Amino acid sequence: MKAAIIGSGIGGMATAIRLASLGFETHVFEQNSFYGGKINSKQLGAYRFDRGPSVFTEPHLIDELLQLNASERINFDYNKLPISCCYFFEDGTKVSLPSGSDAVAEALSNELGENRSKVLKFLERLEKNYNAVYPVFIKVSLHRVGHWLNSNIFKAIKRLPFYGLFSTMNGVNTSTFNNKKTVQIFNRFATYNGSDPYKSPGMFNIIAHLELNVGPFMPKGGMVAISDAVYKKAVEMGVDFHFNTRVEEIMHEKGRVTGIKHKRGILNCDLVTSNMDVHFTYEKLLPAFTGPSKVLSQEKSTSAIVFYWGIKKSFDALDVHNIFFSETYEDEFNQLFVKKTLIDDPTVYIHISSKVEKEDAPLGCENWFVMINAPVDDGQDWEVQKKRVRANILKKLGRILNQDIEPLIEEEENLDPVMMQRMYSGKNGSIYGNASNSTMASFYRHPNFSSSLKGLYFAGVTVHPGGGIPLALNSAAIVQRCVQNDFSIR
């Protein structure tokens, strides 16, 4: 049997490996000349940059994928980072948060005056919530009763009072911590799926568990090493990649998928998995087909503006991950989601892989990936916005680091929501599909299969279970299980 995958993002390539392992002749069609989707890298002069994701959690999901039908070992190494993130506040406070619950509690108690045992108790609650929710909401399809109806559901139900279902993330965090700065640190995890902590349900605090209790990791060779290893594995499994080949239509007959039409021709096949934004899958590839309007019309997640700066200086005060917080955090989200614009004092994230990957920048220099959350494209003039925001970022960093940054920039490039839509086909440049800004948000994500078109599946961050690399990897595993059920493969 033949399978076509539309898109070589991490969710597409993981699905390809999994379908190949079931015996499908598997073809991946990618519109770009490179694999990995948003996990790709760029060289600017002597500096190397990861262009998309920078925070890597749950590396065991990649290990598991690389071990499927293990033959040749594919090199993929990573290290846990001792500091998960350095937080900078406008009043000069700096908090370097390690990972591991004891160390986090110690740091928050010493630096921000939090009650140590209260922090520990909260982190333990997040871990228990995560472990209860994972097997019934994240690892399996929410839309197939057989997947989640087992003894695990009772464990998840038992923890209902602890999820914070009827409060927002900010509500839960405000009632837990004394210091506004701690609340801001915990609220920040809503941005990991492009959402607003003042609207996102308290349940989403579980995202913090992965970074604070377990810790972030850094792949040897940078984030692009993830794409490289997964691509290599797919090729080893016999997956056929077709680059520069945009898929233009999903063909179907009598309620069943029959193949795809692409830029260079047609592939008849038994199943299609779309790793393309689900919104565009319907709009562009199935124009005569009505998609689930409720799901597709949900508010979209944030986009981003990224500046890639080669900096001819090294900063001891900075680590691999750094956040420079806005003083008006709630207003920042209001502007992003309601006014669809940017505040003058945005929260700035700086990732510097060269802190651990020395060859990513010349000696004594650093590769700064400088990102702010941005609204989705709504016709804003992004050239004007980028000019304004660049000046504001430089002012903010200059103020806090006590150093004029602009003269230190010797290489530069940027990315904005329109470029993001063009490069990766995310609806209006949104990074994670639907935002999770309501209690029911998780239930309004598209399932990993189509209930109207047999043989059509979906993997990637715009469908269940959600945004980020680990969830895209889970979506691929869910597709595999659905395909096994539907095609009676054991």
| 468 binding ligand FAD? (CB under 6 A) | yes
Stretch that binds ligand FAD, among 63-71, 101-109, 357-365, 467-475 (CB under 6 A): 467-475
Asked if 5 is part of the footprint of ligand FAD (rule: CB under 6 A), the reply reads no
β-pairing, 321-324 with 348-351? antiparallel
- How far apart are alpha carbons 271 and 174 in whole angstroms? 48
Q: Which is nearer to ligand FAD, 2 or 246 (CB)?
A: 246
280: its two tokens: 């565009």
Size of the site for ligand FAD (CB under 6 A): 34
Q: Smallest distance from the beta carbon of 106 to ligand FAD, in angstroms? A: 26
186/424 with CB nearer ligand FAD = 424
User: Contact between 37 and ligand FAD (CB under 6 A)?
Assistant: yes
- Residues near 386 by Cβ (< 8 Å), separated by ≥ 6? 305, 414, 416
- CB 151, min distance to ligand FAD, A: 30
Token readout for 475 is 């979506």
- Which range binds ligand FAD by CB under 6 A, 51-59, 101-109, 328-336, 385-393? 51-59
Indicate the residue among 176 and 421 with the shorter CB distance to ligand FAD.
421
Binding flag, residue 39, ligand FAD (CB under 6 A): yes
Is residue 322 at the binding interface for ligand FAD, with CB under 6 A as the rule? Answer: no
The residue within the footprint of ligand FAD, chosen from 52, 197, 346, 465 (CB under 6 A), is 52
Q: Residues 67-106: x/- map of binding to ligand FAD (CB under 6 A)?
A: ----------------------------------------
- 440 CB neighbour count, 10 Å cutoff: 9
Cα 168 from Cα 156, distance rounded (Å): 19
Position closest to ligand FAD via CB: 9
Q: Which is nearer to ligand FAD, 9 or 164 (CB)?
A: 9
Which residue's CB is nearer to ligand FAD, number 326 or number 462? 462
If one asks whether residue 302 binds ligand FAD (CB under 6 A), the answer comes out as: no
Could you say whether residue 373 binds ligand FAD (CB under 6 A)? no
Residue from 365, 469, 478, 479 binding ligand FAD (CB under 6 A): 469
Task: State in angstroms the smallest separation of the CB of 271 from ligand FAD.
Answer: 16
> How far apart are CB 417 and ligand FAD at their closest, in Å?
10
Answer for which of 30, 196, 332, 411 binds ligand FAD (CB under 6 A) is 30
Distance of alpha carbon 266 from alpha carbon 260, whole angstroms: 6
First to last CA, the chain: 15
What is each CA distance from 391 to 31, 187, 286, 312, 405, in whole angstroms?
34, 26, 43, 19, 11
Among the listed residues 430, 466, 446, 475, the one whose alpha carbon sits nearest the alpha carbon of residue 206: 466
Q: Which of 133, 208, 225, 247 binds ligand FAD (CB under 6 A)?
A: 247
Q: Taking CB under 6 A as the rule, which mask of x and - marks residues 269-288 in contact with ligand FAD? A: ------xx------------
Segment contacting ligand FAD (CB under 6 A): 8-16, 79-87, 161-169, 311-319? Answer: 8-16
Footprint on residues 419-438 left by ligand FAD (CB under 6 A): 424-425, 431
- Is 54 a binder of ligand FAD (CB under 6 A)? yes
In the shown chain, the binding pattern of residues 10 to 29 toward ligand FAD, with x for contact by CB under 6 A and - for none, equals xxx----------------x
User: Which residues of this protein are in contact with ligand FAD, per CB under 6 A?
Assistant: 6-12, 29-32, 37-39, 52-55, 246-247, 275-276, 304, 306, 371, 424-425, 431, 460-461, 467-469, 472
